[in-house]
């Protein structure tokens, strides 16, 4: 069931999860937050608007950043966010580490999960927080229909299960505080947003190949009841620097 017709998140983990991370982590105007792949800026803008924290948002795509900057200006929070076009792999950790790092929308899988966790920890202060959301398998890979595995490109990403993700986090020095699967409504909100974007006549979603890909993904997810096999994991974890 669609519960948020205004959702503009490009992942099933929406605004409520970003704000949950901010509240649980005790983010305040004195806090520093880094979004290591901000996309259209929904997550970092929600944090800045809610907590008035000092934010840095990085993305490799200038068109994405143009949209993100426009969103920040509309919300009158552009003075709180420093947007930068860059590859997070090329940025050296700062002398003054961050209180919270955002890695939403499957970014850790895009970076390579181990590499993404290493990058995130490098930007965090001792006992700083990482908030992430990522695709996971809900069952053994052999039990997932081939069409579902294919549409989500499992051959390339080799998705974790919740259990293996927890172990990966532990091995990387992160202490889980909240680990939960996004409810079905999150998927409905996400695909409703995608369906609206597929009506775009310009920009990324205007491309015929993009439209075809997302139409197929939506079809596979609902026709084959993808929610039985594919989940979206939200995590808020704390980094413990080794002494």
Is position 43 within any domain?
yes
DSSP 159: P
In the chain, how many domains are there?
A: 1
Helix residue ranges per DSSP H, the chain: 15-24, 42-51, 62-74, 107-111, 113-123, 146-151, 154-157, 162-171, 184-197, 208-223
CA 2, 7, 9, 13: dihedral to nearest 10 degrees?
-50
In sequence order, the 6+-apart residues with CB closer than 8 A to the CB of 183 are: none
What is the spatial distance between Cα 223 and Cα 228, in angstroms, rounded to a whole number? 11
CA atoms within 13 A on the CB side of 86: 13
Is position 28 within any domain?
yes
Please list the pLDDT of the chain residue by residue as tens digits (243 residues). 888 877 888 889 999 999 999 999 999 999 999 999 999 999 999 999 999 999 999 999 999 999 999 999 999 999 999 999 999 999 998 889 999 999 999 999 999 999 999 999 999 999 999 999 999 999 999 999 999 999 999 999 999 999 999 999 999 999 999 999 999 999 999 999 999 989 988 878 889 999 999 999 999 999 999 999 999 999 999 998 765
The residue segments making up the domain with residue 39 are 15-140+153-184+228-239
Terminus-to-terminus CA distance in the chain, angstroms? 47
Domain of 60, CATH number, reads 3.40.50.150
Q: What integer pLDDT is reported at residue 241 of this predicted model?
A: 75
In sequence order, the 6+-apart residues with CB closer than 8 A to the CB of 176 are: 166, 169, 170, 235, 236, 237
In sequence order, the 6+-apart residues with CB closer than 8 A to the CB of 132 are: 102, 103, 104, 107, 108, 120, 234, 235, 237
Pairing of strands 124-137, 230-239: antiparallel
Is position 35 within any domain?
yes
Question: Maximum CA pair distance of the chain?
Answer: 54
The structure's pTM equals 0.94
Q: What integer pLDDT is reported at residue 243 of this predicted model?
A: 56
User: Which element (helix H / strand E) includes 57?
Assistant: strand 54-59
Are 131 and 21 contacting, i.e. CB atoms less than 8 angstroms apart? yes
What is the spatial distance between Cα 155 and Cα 175, in angstroms, rounded to a whole number? 29
Is position 49 within any domain?
yes
Is position 6 within any domain?
no
Is position 209 within any domain?
no
Q: What integer pLDDT is reported at residue 200 of this predicted model?
A: 87
Is position 161 within any domain?
yes
Q: What integer pLDDT is reported at residue 197 of this predicted model?
A: 87
Pairing of strands 230-239, 174-181: antiparallel
Structure tokens, 147? 């069409």
Is position 111 within any domain?
yes
């Amino acid at each position: 069931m669609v519960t948020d017709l205004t959702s503009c998140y490009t992942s099933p983990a929406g605004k409520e999860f970003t704000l949950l991370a901010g509240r649980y982590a005790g983010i305040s105007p004195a806090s520093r937050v880094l979004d290591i792949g901000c996309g259209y800026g929904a997550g970092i803008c929600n944090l800045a608007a809610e907590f008035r924290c000092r934010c840095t948002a990085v993305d490799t795509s200038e068109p994405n950043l143009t949209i993100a900057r426009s969103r920040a200006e509309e919300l009158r929070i552009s003075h709180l966010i420093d947007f930068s076009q860059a590859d997070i792999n090329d940025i050296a950790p700062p002398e003054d580490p961050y209180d919270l790092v955002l890695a939403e929308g499957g970014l850790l899988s895009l970076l390579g999960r181990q590499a993404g966790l290493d990058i995130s920890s490098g930007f965090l202060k001792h006992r700083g927080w990482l908030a992430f959301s990522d695709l996971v398998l809900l069952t053994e890979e052999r039990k997932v229909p081939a069409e579902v595995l294919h549409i989500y490109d499992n051959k390339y990403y080799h998705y974790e299960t919740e259990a293996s993700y927890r172990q990966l986090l532990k091995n990387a020095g992160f202490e889980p505080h909240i680990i939960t699967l996004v409810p079905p409504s999150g998927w409905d909100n996400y695909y409703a947003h995608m369906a609206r974007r597929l009506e775009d006549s310009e920009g990324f979603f205007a491309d015929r190949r993009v439209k075809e890909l997302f139409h197929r993904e939506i079809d596979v997810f609902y026709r084959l009841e993808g929610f039985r096999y594919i989940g979206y994991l939200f995590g808020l974890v704390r980094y413990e620097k080794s002494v």
